[in-house]
């Protein structure tokens, strides 16, 4: 079956760094997305990885290892506004988008 695993919840301190992991087992792979979703709002796009390696975009970076079925989202210089859920999603070989359950990130002062 298709499966995406993320930690349910993580807590970090303002100004620190946090890494949110995502592992996947899907029938094929055509790309991986990370989305951010604040409570009561719609998901918004953060990053897209299709090749191995690190993609950096400001305070956020996303890493992919296709051979390991693994990705992480790295958030630096955490701010209170980064408190949100972070969703990992994979496009499989049939171009179906498989979503993880999301990781709720709590930032403490």
Residues forming contacts to another protein in the complex (CB under 8 A) are: 30-31, 33, 41-45, 48, 87, 91, 95-97, 99-102
Residues 22, 6 contacting (CB under 8 angstroms):
yes
When the beta carbons of 37 and 83 are compared against another protein, the nearer one is 37
User: Whole-number minimum distance, CB 35 to another protein, in Å?
Assistant: 8
User: Whole-number minimum distance, CB 101 to another protein, in Å?
Assistant: 4
When the beta carbons of 75 and 89 are compared against another protein, the nearer one is 89
At 102, list the tokens: 């999301």
At 75, list the tokens: 């958030």
In terms of DSSP bridges, do strands 3-5 and 18-25 run parallel, antiparallel, or are they unpaired? antiparallel
């Amino acid at each position: 079956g298709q499966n995406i695993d993320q930690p349910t919840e993580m807590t970090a301190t303002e100004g620190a760094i946090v890494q949110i992991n995502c592992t996947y087992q899907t029938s094929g792979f055509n790309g991986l997305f990370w989305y951010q979703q604040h409570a009561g709002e719609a998901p918004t796009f953060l990053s897209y990885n299709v090749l191995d390696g690190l993609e950096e975009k400001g305070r956020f970076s996303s890493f992919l290892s296709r051979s390991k079925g693994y990705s992480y989202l790295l958030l630096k210089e955490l701010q209170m506004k980064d408190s949100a859920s972070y969703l990992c999603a994979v496009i499989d070989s049939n171009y179906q988008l498989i979503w993880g359950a999301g990781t709720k990130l709590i930032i403490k002062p």
